[in-house]
Homo-oligomer: A and B are copies of this chain.
Amino acid sequence: MNELELLRRLIPTLPSNDRVVAGAGDDCAVLDLGLPERLLLFKTDAVVAGVHFEADAPAVKVGHKALARALSDIAAMGGTPVSALVTLALPREFAADYVAEIYEGMTALAQRHKVAISGGETTTNPERLLISIALLGTVSRTRWARRTGAQVGDAIFVTGQLGGSRGGRHLDFEPRLAEGQWLVESFELHSMIDLSDGLASDLRHLMEPGGLGAELNKASIPVSRAARLQAKQLAGAKSPLLAALTDGEDFELLFTVASRDAVALLDAWKARFPLLPLTCIGRMTREPGLRLRDAHGAQLFTGHGYVHFA
């Protein structure tokens, strides 16, 4: 049994109680504390120097990224963030200015989304900086999205453009909070997730709960300019399409709706979010597996995105 296997076996044995609507396995834990119209969303996310960002990354962007990743998970359920706690685990030697800039990056983002930073703590992590964000939000009791629920024939949509995030975007992406809220309020979403590990990997989280598959139209996948540039400039780089499928850290929204809603959704989206592309990239299928279709037919795609440690 390897380590990831072990963790997967442990999770179902963790204690629950009657407040828990959804525990481990979705973007956030969902709790029912008795609010008449809202459920609570509860999430933690950590970034580590040298793992999630380069040690020389600008501190303002590191702070931004740490909070933005957690906000993206609230967005993926259509929720509204309320309050964050910040755990800074600092190396023995650190510059006060660097810490101030981390907070600067977090504060600017928090203010844009009306999230309180309600405290937290600092502790010591001798060798490197680690930032863990705990986030509390709410979501409509009747209209929220989760990873489970995709159906055969669903249209698959993705916001923005994918791939090449490591070129810079992973440090300054904006979490799709307004978009996620609007989506769950305006349409019957069957499933939603935010893209952290890469389209090919995260799409599997929408396929697997129902034992479904998906077929994507190669030509429809929105490839970012960064992915195209990297393919040109770096010897041995992934093709732009492969980058869009597997790079990870896009933090765009991936969701499915009944195919009959697809056109209305696209039209309404263009009116509401004219600056952010929304693309229908394919459909959910009864046959398990992820297939890529082009003029020559459909081929099984077995690659995954960037696989996080767990």
Q: Is the beta-carbon distance between B89 and A42 smaller than 8 angstroms?
A: no
Stretch at the interface among A32-40, A154-162, A298-306: A32-40
Q: Is the beta-carbon distance between B33 and A107 smaller than 8 angstroms?
A: no
Contact with B along A1-37 (1 / 0, CB 8 A): 1110111001101111101100111100101011100
Q: Is the beta-carbon distance between A1 and B308 smaller than 8 angstroms?
A: no
Q: Is the beta-carbon distance between A117 and B15 smaller than 8 angstroms?
A: yes
How near does chain B come to A309, taking the closest CB pair, in angstroms? 5
**Residue of B44, B99, B310 touching A85 (CB-CB under 8 A):** B44
Q: Is the beta-carbon distance between B46 and A117 smaller than 8 angstroms?
A: no
Q: Is the beta-carbon distance between B126 and A23 smaller than 8 angstroms?
A: no
Stretch at the interface among A130-138, A184-192, A259-267: A130-138
**Residue of B35, B40, B116 touching A16 (CB-CB under 8 A):** B116
For A233, the chain B residues whose CB sits under 8 A away are none
Does A295 sit at the interface, judged by CB under 8 A?
no
Q: Is the beta-carbon distance between B122 and A89 smaller than 8 angstroms?
A: no
Contact-residue size bin, chain A (C-beta under 8 Å from the other chain):
35 or more
Q: Is the beta-carbon distance between B24 and A119 smaller than 8 angstroms?
A: yes
Distance in angstroms between the alpha carbons of A126 and B126 in the assembled complex: 11
For A20, the chain B residues whose CB sits under 8 A away are 83, 116, 118
Q: Is the beta-carbon distance between A87 and B46 smaller than 8 angstroms?
A: yes
Q: Is the beta-carbon distance between B40 and A94 smaller than 8 angstroms?
A: no
What are 12 of the A-B contact pairs (CB < 8 Å)? Answer: A3-B94, A3-B96, A14-B110, A15-B116, A17-B82, A20-B118, A24-B120, A25-B119, A48-B124, A51-B124, A90-B309, A134-B134
Q: Which residues of A contact B (CB under 8 A)?
A: 1-3, 5-7, 10-11, 13-17, 19-20, 23-26, 29, 31, 33-35, 38, 40, 42-46, 48, 50-52, 82-83, 85, 87, 89-90, 94, 96, 99-100, 103, 107, 110-111, 114-128, 130, 132, 134, 136, 138, 308-310
Extra contacts, 19 of them, besides A42-B118, A127-B127 (Cβ < 8 A), are: A2-B96, A6-B96, A7-B122, A11-B119, A13-B103, A15-B115, A15-B116, A16-B117, A17-B82, A19-B82, A23-B119, A31-B136, A34-B35, A35-B35, A42-B136, A46-B123, A51-B126, A125-B130, A132-B134
